[in-house]
């Protein structure tokens, strides 16, 4: 049985391109297209795709809202957010909305199909480029005025300790705060990085260069 995909993008050219790439694969199949977020719920209900390729910027209901609504329903599909720029301001919102991963429009066809297969398996798609942007600025000591990093200082500190292998109680002891506080920060970090658990957060930290192997 093939992986069924729904394409949501207001640009017809993009839809055609994605459809061509996906339908060229024997194990993937495009079951529908939408040009607006408003059509998405009904299409998903009808076709029950495993994966939804969702554009972020669309007139009317944008990809963020559409994603949020989709995931509120029972047994939702995986949402793979499609964006033009890795530094899109909406990237963070999409993660919070529950998107499983990202896909740049300039990604090569092989990357597109692989991304679809990965999320269809139910695995998170850690996207170094996007994550690096989120964490950005911090990695190499750069606390420059940018604040481009969506992680707050506290969250970045917690992530570092997570990447050092500390448990929540240990982090709490180190920072001299309550475990509940640590849990909140950890939860925020997971949401912002778009990952499922602390292990994936640590992987993201390494892959993004946020922490570097001592070797």
Partner DNA sequence: CGGATTCTCCCCGTCGCGGGGGATCCGCGG
Partner DNA sequence: CCGCGGATCCCCCGCGACGGGGAGAATCCG
Figure out which of the listed residues 163, 175, 179, 191 binds a copy of itself, where binding follows CB under 8 A: 163
* Nearest Cα residue to 151 out of 193, 198, 96: 193
**Residue 134 is a binding residue for a copy of itself (CB under 8 A):** no
Q: Confirm or reject binding of residue 180 to DNA (CB under 7 A).
A: yes
- CB 196 to a copy of itself: min, Å: 8
- Which residue's CB is nearer to DNA, number 35 or number 177? 177
DSSP helix/strand/coil, 113: helix
Q: Shortest approach of a copy of itself to residue 199 CB, angstroms?
A: 5
> In the stretch 96-125, what mask flags binding to a copy of itself with x, by CB under 8 A?
-------------------------xxxx-
95, two tokens? 């993660």
Minimum CB–partner distance for residue 204 and DNA (Å)? 12
The edge-to-edge listing of strands for the beta sheet with 51-55 is 28-34, 3-8, 51-55, 78-83, 101-104
Our finding on whether 142 is near DNA (CB under 7 A) is no
Question: Any contact of residue 59 with a copy of itself (CB under 8 A)?
Answer: no
Binding to DNA (CB under 7 A): which residues in 147-176?
152-155, 167-169, 172, 175
Cα separation, 49 vs 43, whole angstroms: 9
Binding of residue 177 to DNA (CB under 7 A): yes
Instruction: Decide if residue 27 touches a copy of itself (CB under 8 A).
Output: no
Q: Are 76 and 70 in contact (CB under 8 A)?
A: yes
Q: Smaller CB distance to DNA: residue 112 or 151?
A: 151
Long-range contacts formed by 208-214: CB under 8 A, 24+ apart:
208/128, 208/131, 208/132, 208/135, 208/139, 209/132, 209/139, 209/140, 210/135, 210/138, 210/139, 210/156, 210/159, 210/160, 210/163, 211/160, 211/163
Q: Which residues bind to a copy of itself, rule: CB under 8 A?
A: 121-124, 126, 128, 162-167, 170, 173, 195-200, 202-203, 206-207, 209, 213-215
């Amino acid at each position: 049985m093939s992986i069924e995909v729904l394409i949501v993008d207001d640009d017809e050219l993009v839809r055609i391109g994605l459809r061509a790439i996906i339908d060229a694969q024997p194990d993937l199949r495009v079951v529908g297209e939408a040009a607006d977020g408003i059509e998405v719920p009904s299409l998903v209900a009808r076709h029950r795709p495993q994966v939804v390729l969702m554009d972020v910027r669309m007139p009317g209901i944008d990809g963020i809202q559409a994603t949020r609504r989709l995931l509120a329903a029972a047994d939702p599909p995986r949402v793979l957010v499609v964006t033009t720029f890795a530094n899109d301001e909406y990237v963070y919102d999409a993660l919070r909305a529950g998107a499983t991963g990202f896909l740049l429009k300039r990604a090569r066809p092989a990357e597109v199909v692989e991304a679809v297969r990965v999320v269809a398996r139910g695995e998170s798609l850690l996207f170094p480029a996007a994550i690096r942007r989120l964490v950005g600025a911090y990695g190499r000591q750069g606390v420059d005025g940018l604040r481009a990093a969506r992680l707050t200082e506290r969250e970045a500190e917690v992530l570092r300790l997570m990447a050092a292998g500390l448990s929540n109680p240990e982090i709490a002891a180190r920072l001299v705060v309550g475990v509940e506080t640590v849990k909140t920060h950890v939860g925020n970090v997971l949401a912002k990085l778009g990952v499922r658990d602390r292990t994936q957060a640590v992987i993201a930290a390494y892959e993004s260069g946020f922490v570097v192997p001592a070797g």
